Amino acid sequence: MITVDAHVHLWDPDLHDHAWLRAAGDAELRRSFGLDDLVAAAAPSSTHIVVQAGRTVAESRWLLGLAARSARIAGVVIHGDLGDAAVVDTIDALRAGDGGSALVGLRDPVGAGDGARLGLARVRRSMAALAERGLTVDLLLGNGTLDDAYQATRDLPQVRFAVDHAAISAVDVRRDGLRGWAARLAPLGTLPNVVAKLSGLGKATAEPGGVRLPDVARVALDVFGPHRLMFGSDWPVSTLWAPYGDVARTTARALGGLTADETAAVWGGTAAAAYGLGPPDTAGSANRMTTLLQGENP
């Protein structure tokens, strides 16, 4: 059965440099979160897309090595500098190495703080080269970068893009509201080469004055549809707000009312297609949703 959590992280601060982790105010994250921790937290039937947390080739090799030794890792999205002419050579070398077949995508936060980088010719050439290799580009979008993301994804229809965290940080939802976010997100929903992750929503939905997860889920479903939307726990960052099982169950309830086929898409089918994982077991994904709604362990 393939039930895919499309967004988790693994890291070990003793092995690799994570500047963002050192600067984070959340001391509980400044420790190792390894594969054994993830397996203990998640459902026995689930597999995971592990997304980079650091920015080194050494971390990429480490993650791919873990994937080579565990069927629980369905794929790895590594870090790479899309503006670096050598990034494609680095990717090819990693694909030829240990666990290279698990490399399914690349994330460079080109849209996190400076969306204009998405318009650079060298960045777009790298994205096109990834598409030629069957790889997906994850987009981590920051405030004010949705227009740049739309232009890049529109101009590169051959590239598969996965929008992390449904781009909820690309708009100040407390100021602009869900309608403002939905309006800015809607153009991406018109592009068939773009999918989105219902992930990383803890800060927006759990803190006082935040938005409600069912409302966020409804916007994401309206914009992308269930066949272009996928669940991601954002573990272990999500543990700041809730245990893994609670994140999954809350998301399942927010997605109530979908058909079996739509449920299967969100819980595995979309991720399998977006990252080239092969056909999912749709009955298994539907059973997964039923288990979550019954409040059982994830």
Alpha-carbon radius of gyration of the chain: 18
Q: What rounded mean pLDDT belongs to the chain?
A: 89
269-289 tens-digit pLDDT: 999 999 999 765 544 544 554
Q: What is the pLDDT of residue 113?
A: 63
CA atoms of 266 and 109, how far apart (whole Å): 24
CA atoms of 230 and 44, how far apart (whole Å): 19
Q: What is the pLDDT of residue 274?
A: 97
> How confident is the model over 179-186, as a mean pLDDT?
92
Query: Is pLDDT above 60 for 252?
Result: yes
Residue 21's SS3 state is: helix
**Percentage of the chain modeled with pLDDT above 70:** 89
Residues 6+ apart with CB under 8 A from 234: 7, 8, 9, 165, 199, 200, 201, 202, 247
What are the helix and strand counts (H, E) for the chain?
13, 8
> How confident is the model over 194-203, as a mean pLDDT?
92
Reported confidence tier of residue 169, pLDDT bands at 50, 70, 90: confident
Complete domains list, the chain, with CATH: 3-293 (3.20.20.140)
DSSP readout, 89-125? Answer: HHHHHHHTSTTGGGEEEEE--TTTS-GGGGG-HHHHH
Query: Is pLDDT above 70 for 152?
Result: yes
- Burial class, 281, CB count within 10 angstroms (exposed 0-12 / middle 13-18 / buried 19+): middle
User: Reading across the β-sheet that carries 229-231, which strands appear in turn?
Assistant: 3-8, 46-51, 73-79, 103-107, 136-139, 160-163, 194-198, 229-231
Query: Is pLDDT above 50 for 1?
Result: no
Q: What is the pLDDT of residue 267?
A: 95
Reported confidence tier of residue 208, pLDDT bands at 50, 70, 90: low
